[in-house]
Structure 1
Amino acid sequence: MNASKSATRSVDTAKAAIADVTPLALRKAIRSGEHTGTTTGYSSGYLQGNLAILPADYADEFLQFCAKNPKSCPLIGMSEPGSPHIPALGEDLDIRTDLPGYRIFRGSTEFTSSTDLTDVWRDDLVTFVLGCSFSFEAAITRGGVPVRHMDANRNVPMYVTNIETSPAGRFHGPLVVSMRSFTPGDAIRAILYSDRYRLAHGAPVHIGDPSQIGIADIMKPDFGDEPVIHEGDIPVFWACGVTPQMAIRNALPEFAITHEPGLMLVTDVLAEAAEFSLQTKSETSQS
């Protein structure tokens, strides 16, 4: 076996190993500080979630913001005020410790970073968990379509666009998108795969020229890592769960917490099962 084939096999083995990690095992590794990086590629087939934590007096307005912007803010879980637990997303799940990184806002657009919320937790905080595009990446890779940032062991690149969200109360701001580049044929397949996952943002919002959505330099993302783009690739853009961070910065609550982009909550909910449940509810309501 030559060196190139050996290296490829090693990479494939490593990708399979992280894909097979159970959500509970990953959360425990995060909780202990063993895992500190991106969650892309981990626990294949399970829903991952973006995080927005707000004081209770902002909760109704933010819930309305999610309802008005389901593409960027697909709500998959919400806590009771003061509770760091959402049993529907995982029995052994603690919002305060089970994400690799958090951003803490204190009435300003500036934030501090943390890996543990235990010392800043409050009894009036309501947690919102929003679907993440990492959840459909597993379907794309299962279909034999390479995902460039995963192959390069990078975080997905994310960009602030010139597309405005629908405002709700104090919450408003631009849409944030994540980008994955593909060959033309793979782009079509990736779009078809992602369209099945409405709780993970569904089909893309833009394909092709990034300047049309206000992205001046695709090689300089606002969040995440520099993209991997091969010659002949087409950039494909999906709505991103970092969008609420822009809205929170505009609302300026006196206290708020979000996740670090790309460092998600990995739930015990199977993505396929959740999408089937959503489809069933939709069909029932229409009958």
Structure 2
Amino acid sequence: MSEYDDATRLETGDDPTQRHGTFSEDWMIGNAVNGGLVMTTALRALGEHLAADPGETTEHVDPVVLSAYFMTASQPGPFTVTTEVMRCGRTLSTGQMTIHQAGDDGRPVERMRAIGSFGNLTDLEVQRQAAPAEMPPPDQCLSADQAPPGFLSNAKFLDRLDLRLDPDTAGWALGKPSMRGVMRGWLRLRDGREPDTTLLMLALDALPPVAFDLGLFGWTPTLEFTGHVRRRPEPGWLQVTLGSDTLGGGMMEEDAMIWDSAGNLVAQSRQLCGVRTPR
């Protein structure tokens, strides 16, 4: 079993709207579990809920859109996902997901609340899509393994990935950010597990923050994230591009786009991030 599948594995109990799992410290970035993993875990719970309910549309197997709000940072340890099916139509089935963990006092603490829709992305006709950016092939890009040791020690999550950054957007790692607010790279799971539509949500939040290319090396927590999955990815590398044009008031936006190995645009997102400068 892939590390990713094991990390997002869920168990059911007496309540069919609740599923339980455990976040591993192996998926941490800084002082929190990676937000992409939190989102994909919630989506897996909603997908399982839809598949298990005989009254729902079982053909809706692909996440199509997710809008998530992060309340507090998820920590290694047990968690509970609660799902609610809100509406099932011909094209989409929509539901709500919440993730809780026990706080220091034993009371439940909400980590994330999201609304997502599932559909079917089989053989979709595409009339128009953005073209991938020109960048070197993976073997000519910089592996995350080459990042400064101090950075890697606080990013166990990167050990799960094979991440190759475009050298043109990796100057920040040498203390020379371009100040353009652009980050590009190739991405796949290190254990060889091929991407699917749920994994794309993790990939949209997997690269180092684009804030690094603006010379901002503090914590940039995600406040709100909206992701769209456009089609099922082909096997192989994912090509990811991040960009940001707006920074101010202690917040910035981060836009992401992903193309698969065949050059298909498979996912895109926008997230609102907080900007926390080091003290």
The question of a shared fold, defined as TM-score above 0.5 by the shorter chain, is answered with no
What is the TM-score with the length of structure 2 in the denominator?
Answer: 0.26
Larger RCO (alpha carbons 8 Å, 6+ apart): 1
Richer in strand (by share) = 2
Richer in helix (by share) = 1
What is the TM-score with the length of structure 1 in the denominator?
Answer: 0.25
